[in-house]
Amino acid sequence: MNRLKYVILIGLLAIFLFSIFAMSKTDFAQENRTGGETWVNHTKTSLQMDNFWVIITVTVKNKADRPYYFKIGQAYHDHLSPENATIKWVIDWTDPQAVKMAKSRFPELGGDYGWEIDPNKTKTVSFKLHALGDFGDELSYITPANEDPTYYWPLVSEPGLYTSWFLPNELETLNTDLKILNWTGTFGFSLKNIDDEPVYGIVRAPIVPSNSKLTYSNPKVTFIDYESVPGAYIAAWDVAMPGRSYSSFEYTYQWPAGGEEGYSYYGTPLKSNFSAAAGEYLGGNATTTVPSRKTGIPWGPFIIGALVIVAAVAYTRLH
């Protein structure tokens, strides 16, 4: 009899440990963390982007006993398509008003502009840029380097459009006397379906800052991609675009990320509604989750609870 009690106690302990493990796995799955996915080589992209713009507000501290200057970068390069393309930026406005720098890297864009920061002072600046050429008045997209050229059959994973990243505090690596205290960036772009028929897929934010949190998006993101770029929380949308249509997207990131979740994106992934050139297109708009072959009812906790109750009753009777 004592041996049977021992066996039941071991069983209760095993069920308890299993229940903890099962619940932790469930919580992890609910965070919409995508698994590793192979990016297979492609020859055409039906969804492309243009009219890209960004508004950045940044606070810089000069730790030195001498003045410094810092200026706006006007080129961005990271796995753009066509290969080796570069996004060139034109300055729309600055606040406070920027001054022209002694040297310019891209004089064809109007010259380089920036600000002076006095010794041991802090300065907050804001500016708006819009893309010229690729991602501006010319359609483009981001593609990962070294896509897999293998021909897989009969099924192939389709991850959608890729992303790129940058360091919001990169100025600190260029001048160790300057420190970025905080950084906020709002990005916007137009997504266009260049085909005559509807196109579906995952669209990621084309440029994201690393170690930052998403604080806003319109339309609301479907999920956050944690896997494509380590250290970056990538805004991602599950879209359905009618033929020859377009839609506008906007998203905001804040650096440093801090300890709090910046934006609530959890819930049932939805296809957003789009106002398209071909007319208004209404994507899937179900707002509730019901049991189905894919979702089902969460029987796991009920089963575990029943096993625990049965084992406890058996132990009590034996005792």
pTM of the prediction?
A: 0.73
**Does 286 map to a domain?**
no
Do 232 and 311 sit in the same domain of this protein?
A: no
**CB contact at 8 A, 251 and 221:** yes
Regarding whether 296 and 277 lie in a shared domain, the answer is: no
**Intra-chain end-to-end CA distance of the chain, in Å:** 9
Q: Are residues 108 and 233 both part of a single domain?
A: yes
Residue 42 is assigned to a structural domain of this protein: no
Residues 23 and 165 in one domain: no
How far apart are the C-alpha atoms of 91 and 226, rounded to whole Å?
32
Q: Tens-digit pLDDT profile for the chain (319 aa)?
A: 555 555 565 655 555 554 544 444 333 333 334 457 899 999 999 999 999 999 999 999 999 999 999 999 999 986 666 666 789 999 999 999 999 999 999 999 999 999 999 999 999 999 999 999 999 999 999 988 889 999 999 999 999 999 999 999 999 999 999 999 999 999 999 999 999 999 999 999 999 999 999 999 999 999 999 998 889 999 999 999 999 999 999 999 999 997 555 444 433 344 444 443 333 433 333 222 333 333 343 444 444 454 544 454 444 444 5
Query: Is the same domain home to 152 and 240?
Result: yes
Does a structural domain hold residue 13?
Answer: yes
Are 207 and 313 in a shared domain? no
Do 154 and 275 fall into the same domain? yes
Position 41 in a domain: no
Q: Is residue 265 a part of any domain in this protein? A: yes
| Domain-located, residue 35 | no
Q: What is the count of structural domains for the chain?
A: 2
**Helices and strands: H and E segment counts in the chain:** 3, 19
CA dihedral sign of residues 260, 262, 264, 265: negative
- Strands of the chain (E only): list them: 47-62, 68-71, 75-76, 80-81, 87-95, 99-100, 113-117, 122-132, 141-142, 164-166, 178-193, 199-204, 207-209, 213-218, 223-225, 234-241, 246-255, 274-276, 279-281
> Does residue 36 belong to any structural domain of this protein?
no
Question: Is 232 in the same domain as 89?
Answer: yes
CB 69 within 8 A of CB 103: no
Are residue 15 and residue 116 in the same domain, yes or no?
no
Residue 257's domain comprises 47-281
**CB-side neighbour CA atoms (13 Å) of 37:** 20
Residues present in the chain in total? 319
Q: Is residue 170 domain-shared with residue 297, that is, in the same domain?
A: no
The answer on 170 and 66 residing in a single domain is: yes
Q: Is there a domain that residue 91 lies in?
A: yes
- Give CA angle at 110 (108, 111), nearest 5°: 95
Cα-Cα-Cα-Cα dihedral of 248, 254, 259, 263, to 10°?
Answer: -20
Q: Which of 167, 175, 54 is nearest to 117 (CA)?
A: 175
**Three-state DSSP class for residue 234:** strand
Q: Are 26 and 95 in the same domain?
A: no
